[in-house]
Amino acid sequence: MCRSIKTLRPPATPEVGEDDIRAAALQYVRKISGFRAPAAHNREVFDEAVDAVAEATRRLLDGLEIRGAHRGA
């Protein structure tokens, strides 16, 4: 599932930007919902899901401890 989503954690991706996180969240929500672009009546819930997945992704990446990697300050 979601094979086109790239790994975002270091060291696979040293610099993870907001655009990377948002793109991964959008791809996930598209896959789960089955919609590339939702109809107007589903837009709000679709966008809320993308926001929630992006936030969960940020928390995950911020909390991961990678052996041999130094956490940035």
Q: How many other β-carbons are positioned within 10 Å of the β-carbon of residue 23?
A: 17
The pLDDT score that the predictor gives to residue 34 is: 94
The angle formed by the CA atoms of residues 18, 63 and 5, to the nearest 5 degrees, is 45
CA–CA gap between residue 43 and residue 41 (Å, rounded): 6
- What is the overall mean pLDDT for the chain? 85
DSSP single-letter state for residue 2: -
Comparing 67 with 40, the larger pLDDT belongs to 40
Alpha-helical runs (H) found in the chain: 18-33, 43-63
Residue with tokens 């709000």: 44
Domain locations in the chain as residue ranges: 18-62
Asked whether the predicted pLDDT for residue 59 surpasses 90, the reply is yes
pTM of the model: 0.78
